[in-house]
Structure 1
Amino acid sequence: MPNYDYECLECGKRFEIFQSMKDDKLTDCPQEGCDGKVRRLLGTGGGIIFKGSGFYETDYRSSSYKSGEKADKAPAASDTKKAEKPKPAPKAAGDSK
Structure 2
Amino acid sequence: MPTYEYKREDGTTFEITQKMSESALETCPTTGQKVKRIISGGGGVVYKGDGWYVTDYKNGGKKSASTPPPESSSNNTPETKADAPKAKADKETKS
**TM-score category (smaller protein):** 0.5 to 0.7
1:43 deviation in Å? 1.3
Counterpart among 20, 45, 48 of residue 42 in structure 2: 45
Bigger Rg, which one: 1
Gaps of 5+ in 2: 76-95
1:26 deviation in Å? 1.5
Other structure's SS at 2:33 match: coil
Confirm or deny that 1:75 pairs with 2:74.
Answer: no
Distance 2:52 2:17 in 1: 29
- Which residue in the other structure is 1:7 paired with? 7
Distance 2:43 2:53 in 1: 21
TM-score where L is the length of structure 2: 0.54
Other structure's SS at 1:15 match: strand
Distance 1:15 1:7 in 2: 7
Distance 2:3 2:12 in 1: 16
Other structure's SS at 2:7 match: strand
- What is the root-mean-square deviation of aligned Cα atoms in Å? 2.8
TM-score where L is the length of structure 1: 0.53
Task: Report how many residues are paired.
Answer: 70
Percentage of identical aligned residues: 36
